[in-house]
Each structure stands twice: as structure tokens, then as C-alpha cells.
Amino acid sequence: QVHLTESGGGVVQPGGSLRLSCVGSAFTFSAFGMHWVRQAPGKGLEWVAIIWYDGSEKYYGDSVKGRFTISRDNFKNTVFLEMNNLRAEDTAIYYCVREEIHIVQGVPQPGLGTHWFDTWGQGALVTVSS
Amino acid sequence: QSALIQPRSVSGSPGQSVTISCTGTSSEVGGYDYVSWYQQSPGKAPKVIIYDVTKRPSGVPYRFSGSKSGNTASLTISGLQAEDEADYYCCSSTGSYTWVFGGGTKVTVL
């Protein structure tokens, strides 16, 4: 069964740093673009970042650009989110999310994303507080 | 990257239909057929129920349907059931490799 498992959440002071990890299992990790989506307590979903299947391209939401860095290690089936200069408003559950890929004549197309999210992790809570 | 606009809440009795709107701009919702909808129950991760504006993933009940007109997408739940009570979020990619979610709509089954 396809699974995503986040780790690395915790409490950090304003201005501090934290790195989240997400391990994928039961699928060909290197074929899929991976995202991070966050949800502040009692609030809605906010898209944070994407990294392409091969790590060649990365894009970020405006609120984290310049402070967060997404990366991946396809040998370890892991995607990371390095978060620096953290602010109180970064407090949220951070979900690791897989973007589905196109299947052509029954064959999955690595890197050919579909623009929707088919698998979500259980989330990692990050609390920024002094 | 402003959030897409959704009503804060909608409600209906069992068996009724409810529709949730999702309004954006021509830069996302109106410009691409990449609108998806996610259902989130309390304490759980979101789950996709509609993608590419109108398509349902395998296992999602037929009573969930999606549509779009101009810059507004809509999710309709026909034959509302108690288990449909949840938060619903629309999402659209922007064509520049960024995504934007709606603010979320709480569906209450009366």
C-alpha cells in the first residue's frame, strides 16, 4: 500500500530552523513529483513547495520563498523540507503529498504530473514559539 | 498567490444536494482544467474526491460531482449522507508550477 511518513516536527523558537523528512514506500518514488502542504491550527490548507521527480526543478509559495528549501534523495525514497528563519505564522501541520502521474496505455509516465494530489502523509506538527 | 474563495459553510438535510463554489481568476481556475477537490474529516489528512474539474478517482461515490464555469468551479454532493460531513477544499494549479487552495468549506448534515 502506498504510504508517506513524515518526521522531524517539533517545537522551535522564532528565528530557528527545522528539517522535515518524508519517506515514501510501496511505489516508485523517483517517478513522482512531491509537495509539501501545510495547515495552521483550525485553518485551511496552504501549498508550500514542489520538487520535480528528478529534483531538477523546485517551486515555492510566496510566504516561504527564500526561507524554506525542498530537496529529495531518490536512493532513500525521501523528500525533505529545510525550514529557516521560522516565524510564529509557520506553526502548522506539514503534510508530505504525492502528485499523481499520467498513465499512458497502462504505463506510468515518470515526471509527467497530473496537477492533483493522490496520496497524503499523516502530517508533522511544527510549532514556532518562544 | 491569493487563496481561492469558498463559502465558509453549507448545510443540508440527508438526501438533499449541496453545492460548494470555488472562485479564482483566469490565472488559475479559469485558465486551466486542473481544479481538484479534497475532503478532510477532523484529525485526518485530506483525501481527493475530484480532479481535472470533473473526474472522480476510483472508490469515490457517484454522488460527488464537479464542474466549472469561467473562473468559478463547483462541487456538488447529491443525496447528502451523514458521512459527508467534513471540510472541503478546492485547489488549482496556476500553470507556473505553483498551486493554490481555497479557504475551505464546512459541510454540515442537519
Any B CB within 8 A of A123 CB:
yes
Position A102 scores a pLDDT of: 87
- In contact, B5 and B22? CB cutoff 8 Å: yes
Contact A116 B51 (CB under 8 A): yes
Position A108 scores a pLDDT of: 83
What are the chain B neighbours of A35 within 8 Å (beta carbons)? 99
What are the chain B neighbours of A56 within 8 Å (beta carbons)? none
Tens-digit pLDDT profile for chain B (110 aa)?
789 999 999 999 999 999 999 999 999 999 999 999 999 999 999 999 999 999 999 999 999 999 999 999 999 999 999 999 999 999 999 978 999 999 999 999 99
Contact B91 A45 (CB under 8 A): yes
**Residue A104 CB contacts under 8 Å (≥ 6 apart), including other chains:** none
**For residue B2, what is the nearest residue in chain A, using CA coordinates?**
A62
Position A113 scores a pLDDT of: 85
Any B CB within 8 A of A24 CB:
no
Contact B45 A59 (CB under 8 A): no
Contact B91 A57 (CB under 8 A): no
Tens-digit pLDDT profile for chain A (130 aa)?
999 999 999 999 999 999 999 999 999 999 999 999 999 999 999 999 999 999 999 999 999 999 999 999 999 999 999 999 999 999 999 999 999 988 889 888 888 888 999 999 999 999 999 9
Distances (CA, A) of A93 to A26, A47, B51, B82: 24, 12, 23, 27
Contact A116 B52 (CB under 8 A): yes
Position A106 scores a pLDDT of: 86
Question: Which residues 48-107 of A are in CB contact (within 8 Å) with B?
Answer: 50, 57, 59-62, 95, 100
**Residue B29 CB contacts under 8 Å (≥ 6 apart), including other chains:** B4, B22, B23, B35, B68, B71, B72, B73, B90, B92
**Residue B69 CB contacts under 8 Å (≥ 6 apart), including other chains:** none
Position A112 scores a pLDDT of: 86
What are the chain A neighbours of B89 within 8 Å (beta carbons)? 44-45
**DSSP notation for A39-102:** E-TTS-EEEEEEE-TTSS-EEE-TTTTTTEEEEEETTTTEEEEEE-S--GGG-EEEEEEEEEEE
